[in-house]
A and B are shown apart, each in its own frame.
Chain A
Amino acid sequence: MKGVGLGIFNHKTISVQFDPAAVAFFAATGITDPTIQAAINFRVRSFKGLDTTYNAPAYNLWDGGIFVDYPYVGGTGTTCKYNLKNPQNTDGAFRITFTGGNTFNANGYTGNGVSGSGNTHVQPDDLGQNTAGYYFYSRTAGTENKQCFTVQTGGSDEFGLYRRFSDNNAYVACNSGEQVLANADGSGFFVVSRFASNMFNTMIRGTNWASAQVSAAPTGLDIPIAAKNLSGVISSFSVTNWASFGLLSQTLSTQQMTVLTNIDVQFQTMLSRNV
């Protein structure tokens, strides 16, 4: 069963078949822009393995890995808050609650480094100790000595990352301590997926590193964006420009991580915000 929508291209009105999940997202957000609609429809169908242009093996990442997905389109707090996988206006559907000073525009979402952040209402223990992961697209290349997001209960990061610390390293944690990875460019697509109790993969702009970090029981704290949730206290606000964000509840293979990277990069290209 396919949804049917209308798109206007080159001054001609033509019918475009949208995936039902895309239609639900448009209904929730009120997005009518044909470019954004086409990009969202591409994203959904590619994640589901229905559009194989950038997903040749037809992996079903939609049901086989992605727990929530935030494409940050539409340029408002309302359009950016919805979870593409379940675009209902409830915390239980993992809409983002944006607090403090934030900026929303065609390039996505950016906190202000003073008070801006969002609460996804997802907790690491929703994702599984040894199956958890996350991905996001950063449009900020420079260094930042604050985590893009993280959940901590102690001295070390437990779930989150510094995309590019001032020592030109990324510090990546996935229900574990931090793995240090050389990274002199803070922009592009990052994806992290745990595949064993003592290992997780980190793919940055298509290059993968396996990290030997032993997992610990995940916390029951809400995962923020653009901030740190330290034992329930929100602090350390980031100014990274996000163009997408998602959380994984099933392990992705490195091939699937590559496909996810390619889909997201193409999505950003369709929106003219790939860097």
Chain B
Amino acid sequence: MKNLLLIFALTLLVVGCTKTEVQPTQPVTYSKVDVTLSKMLTKEKYKVLHAQKSTLRKTVLMVYSITEAQADSLRMQEFAPDQYYWPVQDCNGNWLITEEEVSQTVFSQWLWVKNLPQMEYCEPV
């Protein structure tokens, strides 16, 4: 009987984990646990906790990987009328540009960005 209960509990845990996965391209949202914690903690303490959690949370937002040299060449270059590239680094120091920058690129000299490799985004702490 105890084994059955254990199997049942493990099944619930697996199903629960599956349901809480963040869908691709969706922004990170804050769960009820975050809200409850935030009420218990001061804002500054919460910021620290959130930063620590961010490094642990699985992130499925997809971005486009670039080299540092490519980041230097793209920075503040116009990719569409009145929009300029702004390469940033992820939590591991990898350079990237975002889905919006790639999909909205229309100027011919930058169309090569549409062939860049994708990677999962990890928010810097």
Which A residues lie at the B interface, using CB under 8 A?
A: 76-78, 81, 97-103, 112-117, 142-143, 145, 165-169, 171, 234, 239
B71 to chain A, nearest CB (A): 11
A55 to chain B, nearest CB (A): 32
The answer to whether A114 and B63 touch (CB under 8 A), given A100-B98, A145-B50, A167-B46, is yes
Q: In this complex, which of A77, A143, A167 has the most chain B Cβ atoms within 10 angstroms of its Cβ?
A: A167
The answer to whether the Cβ of B35 comes within 8 Å of any Cβ in the partner chain is yes
Within 8 Å CB of A98, what residues of B?
Answer: 82-84
The answer to whether A145 and B121 touch (CB under 8 A), given A77-B80, A99-B85, A102-B83, is no
Within 8 Å CB of A97, what residues of B?
Answer: 82, 84
B88 near A100 (CB under 8 angstroms)?
Answer: yes
> 29 interchain pairs (CB within 8 A)?
A76-B81, A77-B80, A77-B81, A78-B81, A81-B82, A97-B84, A98-B84, A99-B76, A99-B84, A100-B84, A100-B88, A100-B100, A100-B101, A101-B98, A101-B99, A101-B100, A103-B100, A112-B27, A112-B99, A114-B63, A114-B88, A114-B123, A115-B86, A115-B101, A116-B86, A145-B47, A166-B30, A167-B35, A239-B27
Q: In this complex, which of B30, B50, B83, B84 has the most chain A Cβ atoms within 10 angstroms of its Cβ?
A: B83
A75 to chain B, nearest CB (A): 12
- Kindly supply a per-residue 1/0 record for chain B positions 23-37, scoring 1 wherever the CB is within 8 Å of any chain A CB and 0 otherwise: 000011110001100
Within 8 Å CB of B50, what residues of A?
Answer: 145
A165 to B97, CA, bound (A): 27
A102 to B30, CA, bound (A): 22
Q: Which of A76, A143, A234 contacts B30 (CB 8 A)?
A: A143
A166 near B35 (CB under 8 angstroms)?
Answer: yes
B76 near A145 (CB under 8 angstroms)?
Answer: no
B contacts with A: majority SS: mixed
Apart from A76-B81, A100-B86, A167-B38, what are 17 other A-B pairs with CB-CB below 8 Å?
A76-B82, A97-B84, A99-B76, A99-B84, A99-B86, A101-B97, A101-B101, A102-B100, A103-B100, A112-B98, A114-B61, A114-B88, A114-B98, A115-B88, A145-B47, A166-B34, A167-B43
Which B residues lie at the A interface, using CB under 8 A?
A: 27-30, 34-35, 38-39, 43, 46-47, 50, 61, 63, 76, 80-88, 96-101, 121, 123
Within 8 Å CB of A113, what residues of B?
Answer: 27-28
Within 8 Å CB of A167, what residues of B?
Answer: 35, 38-39, 43, 46
A168 to B37, CA, bound (A): 12
A113 to B124, CA, bound (A): 12
B34 to chain A, nearest CB (A): 6
B31 to chain A, nearest CB (A): 10
